[in-house]
Amino acid sequence: MHILLTRPLEDCYEMILKFQNLGHQISHMPLISIERINHENIDYSDFQGIIFTSSNAIKFLDLKKIDKRTKCFCVGNATEKKARSFGFQNVFAAEGNVNNLKEIIIQNFKTSEGKLIYVSGEIIASDLDNKLISEGFNIKRIVNYKAKPVEKLDEEFILKIKSKMPDIVYIYSQNSAENFLKIIKNYQLADFWMDTNLMCISEKTSSILNEIKWKKIFLFNPGEEEFLLYKI
């Protein structure tokens, strides 16, 4: 199958290799680039737990200031893997969605243990911090990165895509979906996707792309990409 991956290269490099080893043709079209955001100086010793809903948040941390034994809560396997690679030892991982992550935190962190810090991007799909506050947790959110849309594509790449449209495209965020829709319109690609399966990380993400005619739309959690190939 021809698979279109849309995350920045460092976030999908392993997946590219995995799919290629399975015999699939891969096209790579990053829809966003990730940039650091400077934030207030944080004394991480004030917090007894740290939350990540993206591996990008880990990448831009000042890790020298953090005790790696601090309880670390991750939204899914990819984020957990990144946290462990950066030295976190006490890691709890959800199954790829924020509601499950909230339950993991409730089960493994008592409000009496202290404060939580939630490190995230500028735009988040779910207000996890407010949900935890409503459960009695003391939590602070800081933003340390933002997603910037990639606006221009190589014309040769567009011609290549048109000549052999993907069987599958994976979209990982609302930001990516919005930019993908803009690219589809700007490059007059709206009528080319009827035989392509759209894989989206959430209903909110898929709703942005509903005006395009797809063969079928699937929802998935990060880590399920290969499994979805067998549902088509």
Q: What is the pLDDT of residue 20?
A: 96
Residue 31: predicted pLDDT:
95
Contact, 50 vs 116, CB < 8 A?
Answer: yes
Taking the CA atoms of 8, 11, 17 and 20 in sequence, report the sign of the dihedral they define.
negative
Asked whether the domain spanning 38-147 has the same topology as the one spanning 2-31+149-229, the reply is yes
CATH of domain 38-147: 3.40.50.10090
Please, what are the averages of pLDDT over each run of 10 residues along the chain (232 residues)?
Answer: 93 91 96 91 95 92 90 92 94 89 97 96 86 96 93 89 94 92 94 96 92 94 82 79
What confidence score (pLDDT) does residue 110 get? 96
- What is the pLDDT at residue 70? 96
What pLDDT does residue 62 have? 84
CATH of domain 2-31+149-229: 3.40.50.10090
Pairing of β 32-36 and β 138-149:
antiparallel
Instruction: Give me the pLDDT at residue 78, please.
Output: 82
b or e along 27-49 (b: 16 or more beta carbons within 10 Å of the residue's beta carbon)?
bbbbbbebeeeeeeebebeebbb
Residue ranges of domains in the chain? 2-31+149-229, 38-147
Which DSSP state fits 63? G
Please tell me the predicted confidence (pLDDT) of residue 228: 81
pLDDT the model gives residue 63: 82
Q: How far apart are CA 28 and CA 201, in angstroms?
A: 18
Give the per-residue pLDDT at 193: 97
